[in-house]
Amino acid sequence: MKLNYLELNFSGESLSDKLFLKNKNLWLILSKEKSRFFGGFYFKNQPFRFLDSLEISSLPKEITIFSPTEIFWETDRNQIYLSLKEENCLEIKAANLEEISLSFDANFIFNDNPFLRFIKEEKLNSSTYHFFFYFDNQLIMEILVESFAPLNFQTGWFRNFLDFDSKRNSSLKEWWSYGKLTSKTNCLKIKILETACFSGEIFNLTNNKIFDFILTRLNSLILKNYLPAGFPWFFENWFRDELLSLYLLKDYLKDKKSIFSNYLFNLENKWQFNKENGILAADTLPLIILNIDEEDLAYYSVVFKKYLRFWEENFLDKNGLLKLPAKATWMDTLEKNESLEIYTLYLKALRKLAKFEKIYKEKADFYLKLLKQKIKEEYDVNLILVYFLLPEVFSKKEWLKIFDRFLVDYYLPWGGVATQKINSDKFISQHTGENPLSYHSGDSWYYLNNLLALILKDLNEKKYKFTIQKIIEASLTDLLKDGVLGFSSELSSAKERKSEGSLIQTWSMSSLLLLLSSFQNPDIFFKSLSD
């Protein structure tokens, strides 16, 4: 299907039909494929799925994306505009009468007990329905559906096969939706009877249409007062994802201090976890330190030193080597005792603190030597993070040699790197969906690919021009044409470029923006993709 981005003045052929619209606490994921993660959600401390499907009778031929809250469909016999611009409201307008059909759900996103759901409908008049959504006998939310034409409602639960989830090896392959509300109309509105609770945008725009394209989308993803790791299922405040994204886009942050105050004044509950009520994470504290500016670090150095000491007790053995608990790094499907990127982050933290106390300098020197040694012994895909955070570990000449070897072992010809050596027997070439087997044993992560391109550009842009171009092309294809249109995915299978994993991943977008902003004319990459 033909696809246009008004903000970018970009047109192309889409590989996907997935659309994401979000305004504050309300979002929609639309697709012909069925998933319990698609549909309409309202954020009530957790995403609450109230809309199972929204269908139109005519066939879309062309999509134009106006903004993160508006899309326009040109269909075989109509023109349809979908908007979340008005707060807590989904508006559908059509040039001609269109048969629009809605079905409903009443489910918190990760619940797989279908029996806790109850929906009650009340016909207020021939063109207005009031729906009440209950979960575990509690009223969660209410909506009004209004049409310019009569609404017909068929009550009952309807069984749906979840083809998208089934493809992802989900344990849940079927889900029941409630009711079928139809109207042949040229205007239909769904109003959420809630008051939005929202803290605002965190990124400044730049007047560069490419950068702003990504920044507006990142801003639109904000929930409460944090940047979620992604959608649909990483909506929580995953600390490493947020912290890395904020680090990557530090030049665009509106109010750095207020953002980091969440971490600063809540260190006790965050420093060693991957998210609220999460599991142990060895990178959270070092990432906080990475992001905190020197002024705040100096001011709160006593606090940070105390927590760093706790961190060392938790994550280092008596010889100072890492002894990581299970799943304590971003590669949380692997049992890793040590990890290059944790050493790097720790080293970064030590260096920052060394500016205030000599003892940290000695430690930093020790860990620099250790890191070098570890990389010489064996490295993995975290090498990318090592270079990105601490290019001074080796000389440029040494890095070139290392990355030449690295690319042989990890580079995928379509423009990405695998998370496992390609010729290893542990390498898994196909993404395994909900089964985490492939995640860090083969799958290619867009954020790492983007950082790699940045690194290669830094090392020798000319030498690696082709590789850099391939990576950018792959990431832009993912952003603009595949997965959720206009958003970057989490990862791809190793064997061929795809948009897989979480459909929207903020650190993929942040790293892509950083990559694109390193070029004087990033437009050229868009031109080559455009039709």
List binders of another protein among 414-453 (CB under 8 A).
none
When asked if residue 115 is in the footprint of another protein (CB under 8 A), the reply is yes
Amino acid identity of residue 35, one-letter, is: S
Among 132, 148, 157, 427, binds another protein (CB under 8 A): 157
Q: What are phi and psi of 514, to 5 degrees?
A: -60, -40
Q: Which is nearer to another protein, 112 or 251 (CB)?
A: 112
Q: How are beta strands 60-67 and 2-5 bridged, if at all? A: parallel
Q: Kindly state the number of chain residues that form the binding site for another protein, as judged by CB under 8 A.
A: 11
CA distance 110 to 131: 22
Cβ distance to another protein smaller for residue 98 or 105: 105
**Residue number, 156 or 413, with CB nearest to another protein:** 156
Pairing of strands 79-83, 19-23: unpaired
In DSSP notation, 192-226 reads E-S--------B---S-HHHHHHHHHHHHT-BTTB
Give the type of residue at 284.
T
Using CB under 8 A as the binding rule, whether residue 358 contacts another protein is answered as no
- Shortest gap between Cβ of 203 and another protein (angstroms)? 41
Q: Which is nearer to another protein, 131 or 414 (CB)?
A: 131
Interactions with another protein, residue window 365-384 (CB under 8 A) = none
Q: How far apart are CA 456 and CA 474, in angstroms?
A: 16
Pick the binder of another protein from 66, 176, 247, 273 (CB under 8 A): 176
User: Is the CB of 106 or the CB of 448 nearer to another protein?
Assistant: 106
Q: Which is nearer to another protein, 41 or 178 (CB)?
A: 178
Does 113 bind another protein (CB under 8 A)? Our answer is yes
CA–CA gap between residue 307 and residue 326 (Å, rounded): 21
By C-beta, is 104 or 260 nearer to another protein?
104
Residue span binding another protein (CB under 8 A) among the ranges 106-114, 147-155, 463-471, 514-522:
106-114
> Of 155-163, 201-209, 305-313, 497-505, which part binds another protein (CB under 8 A)?
155-163
**Residue selected from 136, 317, 357, 461 as contacting another protein according to rule CB under 8 A:** 136
CB of 38 to another protein, least distance (A): 20
Beta strand spans in 44-173 (E): 47-56, 60-67, 70-75, 79-83, 89-108, 117-125, 128-135, 138-147, 151-161
On the 0-12 / 13-18 / 19+ scale of CB atoms within 10 A, 218 is: buried
Side chain identity at 210, as an amino acid letter?
I
Q: Does 159 engage in binding with another protein (CB under 8 A)?
A: yes
The strand pair at 117-125 and 230-231 is best described as unpaired
Binding residues for another protein (CB under 8 A): 112-116, 136-137, 156-157, 159, 176
